[in-house]
Structure 1
Amino acid sequence: MPSKNGTKDSMLEVFVYAAQDYGYSIDITLNVHGSLVTGKIVGEQEYFQRLSENFKDDSSETAEKIKDELLKASEDAKKSDNNNVEFIHLKNAQVYVGDTQPTPSENHFLWRGKIDDVNGFFLGRIKQKN
């Protein structure tokens, strides 16, 4: 359950727990130190699984080790009964700073941030103008 320590937004933690414990995913936009980060919340397990896919076409020894560590982290997250989440994970994320085009402006990426660093949020995502 969400912590009552006063440093994290307990409602934001509810969405993170729903993603981690039940696979529930919802569009969200976060205010993080003046930047807007928009995407879909995913659980830690899915985040590490998807991140490992970035190394599937690289057969170097280093890439294989990184991929193995990410897959291990995904499995550990699956087994974990962690009642104290520290991070929020987004897929199809984009970052907006001011009135500029989002980063990246094409394609979407995975994003991981500390829940303590989120200053505010709203449900839904920012749509890029074409």
Structure 2
Amino acid sequence: MAKDEILSFFVQAANHHDFSTDITLHVKGALVTGTIISAASYFSNLKDSISEKNDVAKQLKEALKQAEESADSKQSNAEYIHLKNMSTYMAENKTTPANSDLLWRGKISDIDGFFLGRISDEE
């Protein structure tokens, strides 16, 4: 499936120029809403969320650190979009999950559509 070149442009701006904006994505019938962040920021935040309780956690943190460094140095085309403060909306359900500081990673080629701005339960 082909990926949306405009969406790819937003992702590349986040990855290479510290660009960030709120966005809502249509993904296989669900809405995913949040703020675009760079791949490096995604890996850094994910790494920081893991506590080093054992050797496996330490290995995960090291792998995420390497992914962050790799993302910082890559100038390639964007394949994935990364969001912070994400929520999902599906059919008849309210927002899932309700925790607003969640990170999300999705494949750009799996996204059916998008609009700038985010959906909020706050009125």
What is the TM-score with the length of structure 2 in the denominator? 0.94
Q: What is the aligned counterpart of 1:123 among 111, 116, 122? A: 116
Distance in 2, Cα, partners of 1:109 & 1:65: 22
The one-letter amino acid of 1:78's match is D
Who is 2:54 aligned against?
Answer: 60
Q: What is the aligned counterpart of 1:50 among 23, 45, 48? A: 45
Q: What are the superposed Cα offsets for residues 40-79 of structure 1, whole Å, 9 maximum, x if unpaired?
A: 0011100000010111x33210001001100110001111
Q: What are the superposed Cα offsets for residues 87-113 of structure 1, whole Å, 9 maximum, x if unpaired?
A: 010011111101311111133310000
Distance in 1, Cα, partners of 2:57 & 2:98: 27
Gaps of 5+ in 2: none
Q: In the comparison of the two structures, how many residue pairs are matched?
A: 123
4+ residue runs over 3 A deviation: none
Who is 1:14 aligned against?
Answer: 9
SS in structure 1 at match of 2:81: strand
State whether structure 2 residue 91 is matched by structure 1 residue 98: yes
SS in structure 2 at match of 1:17: helix
State whether structure 2 residue 97 is matched by structure 1 residue 110: no
1:120 deviates by 0.4
